[in-house]
Amino acid sequence: MALRMWASSTANALKISVASKPQLSPYCLSRCFSSVLDGLKYATSHEWVKHEGSVATIGITDHAQDHLGEVVFVDLPEPGVAVTQGKSFGAVESVKATSDVNSPISGEIVEVNSKLSEAPGAINSSPYEEGWMIKVKPSNPSELGSLLDAKAYTKFCEEEDAAH
């Protein structure tokens, strides 16, 4: 119980939100306080999407960066390139491995986070803010409906981690 209280107060102090749950789940305790933010959509390949107006911002989740370890290099495409839902648009290299990053939606890249070429560690320290990867003009906004909400993504991660 003391661990849960410490974890809850630490998460609160760090402003980590846990998907629709008033307390930290065992998943968050075991995964170093990985956060899942309400209001985003998630792919089972561990990318997130924040859709605002005519643009969707995409990056990898806190869960993904936690499993990757220290990110040392990010390979991203140029603006103007088309991305397809479920297909790779780039790669993230960490001290552990290189992983493809898949687009959770289809569309045209309108902006790339060029700061990641000089500071790839932003993906580790701020995966939902400074560590965003690309901004896309969705070609089929209805694809967002096929993605998971925060609660469903948290459950997916818990089940995936339990299976490993």
Convert the pLDDT of each residue in 14-70 to its tens digit: 444 333 333 333 333 334 447 899 999 999 999 999 999 999 999 999 999 999 999
Query: In the predicted model, is pLDDT for residue 140 greater than 70?
Result: yes
Query: In the predicted model, is pLDDT for residue 88 greater than 80?
Result: yes
Domains and CATH numbers, the chain: 41-163 (2.40.50.100)
Beta bridge partners of 57: 50, 135
pLDDT of residue 110: 98
Between 19 and 121, the higher pLDDT residue: 121
AA identity, residue 83: V
pLDDT of residue 153: 96
Between 27 and 73, the higher pLDDT residue: 73
- Average pLDDT of 94-103? 95
Give, as one character, the DSSP assignment of residue 149: -
pTM of the prediction?
0.79
Give, as one character, the DSSP assignment of residue 40: -
pLDDT of residue 161: 87
Residue 125 CA to residue 8 CA, distance in Å, equals 20
Give, as one character, the DSSP assignment of residue 106: -
- For the chain, give the mean pLDDT: 84
Q: Collapsing DSSP states into helix, strand and coil, what is residue 96?
A: coil
